Amino acid sequence: MNEIVVVGSGVMGRGIAYVAAASGFPTSVVDVSADALKSAEEAIHQFFRKGVARGKVSEEEATVALRKLAFTQDLEAVARSADLIIEAVPERAKLKQQVFEIVGRSAKASCIFATNTSTMSPTEIASFGGRPERTIAMHFFNPVHKMPLVEIVRGLETSDETVKYIESIARSMGKETVTIKEFPGFVTSRMSALVGNEAFYMLQEGLGTAEEIDKAIKLGLNYPMGPFELADLVGLDARLNNLRYLHEKLGEKYRPAPLLEQYVKAGRLGRKSGKGVYEYTNEGAVSK
Ligand code: NAD
C-alpha cells in the first residue's frame, strides 16, 4: 500500500490524514509545532470515534488505521520512505518552499509531491522540490471527510502519469475529481474568495448583520452555508492569505475587505480560535 506523508497538521492536514488513514494508507502526519501535532492526534482519534459511531468505518478498520498512523516533527525521516507527500502548510510561498526543499532532498526518486494549496501555482511550487513532472496540486475541501471533491491542477511540466496516479489515489479516498488547468485560485477558490470577500464588504457597509447576510445567501441563493459560516470554518487567516495572493495576481477585484484584515489582526480566526465572525463554544455550537 502506498505510504502517505501529510505535511502540516492544521485544519486541512488533519482532515487529509484522517481520510488517507481511513482509506487504508499508512499515513504519517508532520508539523513543526508539537502542540499542533498533539491537537491533530486528538482530533483524528475523535474523527475515527465518530466514523465508527456513524457506521462509516468499522471498529476493526479504525484499529488497523490508527496502528498505521504516525505523528512526527521529523519531515526528513518520514519523507525517505514516502510514495506520496501531501503538503498542507499555510498559504505562504516561503513556507511551501521550505517544505519542498526538504522533501526534494530526502524523498526517493519515485515519490510524488502534491500541494493542497487553494490558490497558488503548482508550477511555482514544483520549482522548489526539483521534480516538476512529479508535482501537482491536490486541492481538498473543508471538512475533508465530508466534501466529495478533490480539484486536481497540473503544473506546466506535470506528467500524465502523475495526474493518473493522483486521480486514482483520490478515488481510493472516496473522492470525485476534476482536473483543470493552472490559474490563480483554480475554479473553486477564485469563486469562493470573491463571494466571501463581498460579504465582508457588505458587513462593513452595514447592509445587514452577519446573520442576515448569511440567511439571505442561504435561503435566497440556495447556498448550503452562509459566507460567514464558511469563512469561520475555513479560517479567516486562510481566507485572507488566499485573497492577498489573488489580489496580487488578478488585481483589484480581489482586494481583501479591511474588516476581514481587522478581524485577523484581532486574532478572530474563526472556529479554530473560538471566535471569528461568530463565537463558538467548546462543543462547536454557535452563540450569535
Ligand atoms: P492551518 O493554519 O490550519 O495549519 C497549517 C499547519 O502547518 C499548522 O499546524 C502549522 O504549524 C504547520 N506548519 C507551518 N509551517 C510548517 C512547516 N514548515 N512544516 C510543517 N508544518 C508546518 O492551515 P490550513 O487551513 O490547514 O491550510 C493549509 C493549506 O491548505 C493552505 O495552503 C490552504 O490554502 C489550503 N486549504 C485550506 C482550506 C481551509 O478551509 N482551511 C481549504 C482548502 C485548502
Q: How far is CA 140 from CA 67, 153, 190, 208, 209, in A?
A: 24, 11, 15, 32, 30
Q: E strand or H helix at 35, and its extent?
A: helix 34-53
In degrees and rounded to multiples of 5, residue 56 shows phi and psi of -80, -30
Rounded mean pLDDT of the chain?
Answer: 96
- Among the candidates 158, 181, 204, a domain finishes at 181
Contact 156, 190 (CB under 8 A): no
Residue 286 lies in a domain: no
Q: What is the CB < 6 Å shell around ligand 1?
A: 7-13, 30-33, 36, 88-91, 95, 98-99, 116-118, 140-142, 234-235, 238
- Distance, CA 240 to ligand 1 centroid (Å)? 13
Dihedral sign of CA atoms 173, 177, 183, 188 in order: negative
Q: Which atom, in ligand 1's list, is nearest to the CA of 235?
A: 41
What are the grid coordinates assigned to 131, written together?
521534480
- Among the candidates 160, 181, 202, a domain finishes at 181
Structure confidence at residue 287 (pLDDT): 63
Q: Which atom, in ligand 1's list, is nearest to the CA of 12?
A: 26
Q: E strand or H helix at 205, and its extent?
A: helix 188-205
- Distance, CA 176 to ligand 1 centroid (Å)? 22
Q: How far is CA 197 from CA 60, 75, 208, in A?
A: 44, 35, 15
- 178 DSSP β-pair partners: 151
Q: Which atom, in ligand 1's list, is nearest to the CA of 36?
A: 9
Residue nearest to atom 15 of ligand 1 (CA): 89
- Among the candidates 147, 181, 215, a domain finishes at 181
Q: Do 115 and 74 reside in the same domain of the chain? A: yes
Residue 105 lies in a domain: yes
Q: How far apart are CA 224 and CA 227, in angstroms?
A: 10
Radius of gyration of the chain (CA): 19
Residue to probe by mutation, ligand 1, list 11, 18, 119, 242, most atoms within 8 Å of CB: 11
Which of 12, 53, 42, 13 has the alpha carbon at shortest distance from 29?
13
3-state secondary structure of 149: strand
Q: How far apart are CA 40 and CA 64, in angstroms?
A: 18
Q: Do 48 and 150 reside in the same domain of the chain? A: yes
- Distance, CA 9 to ligand 1 centroid (Å)? 7
Q: How far apart are CA 238 and CA 270, in angstroms?
A: 10
Residues in Cβ contact with 170 at an 8 Å cutoff, skipping those fewer than 6 apart: 138, 150, 152, 176, 177
Q: Do 123 and 247 reside in the same domain of the chain? A: no
- 139 DSSP β-pair partners: 151
Q: Do 24 and 138 reside in the same domain of the chain? A: yes
Instruction: Residue 51: give the domain boundaries.
Output: 4-181
pLDDT tens string 116-166: 999 999 999 999 999 999 999 999 999 999 999 999 999 999 999 999 999
Residue 226 lies in a domain: yes
Whichever domain contains 174, its CATH number is 3.40.50.720
Kindly indicate the confidence band of residue 1, based on its pLDDT and cuts at 50, 70 and 90: confident
- Distance, CA 28 to ligand 1 centroid (Å)? 16
Residue 173 lies in a domain: yes
Is pLDDT above 70 for 288? no
Structure confidence at residue 60 (pLDDT): 94
pLDDT tens string 69-124: 999 999 999 999 999 999 999 999 999 999 999 999 999 999 999 999 999 999 99
- Distance, CA 56 to ligand 1 centroid (Å)? 26
Question: Is the pTM for the entire model greater than 0.85?
Answer: yes
Contact 287, 241 (CB under 8 A): no
Q: How many folded domains does the chain comprise? A: 2
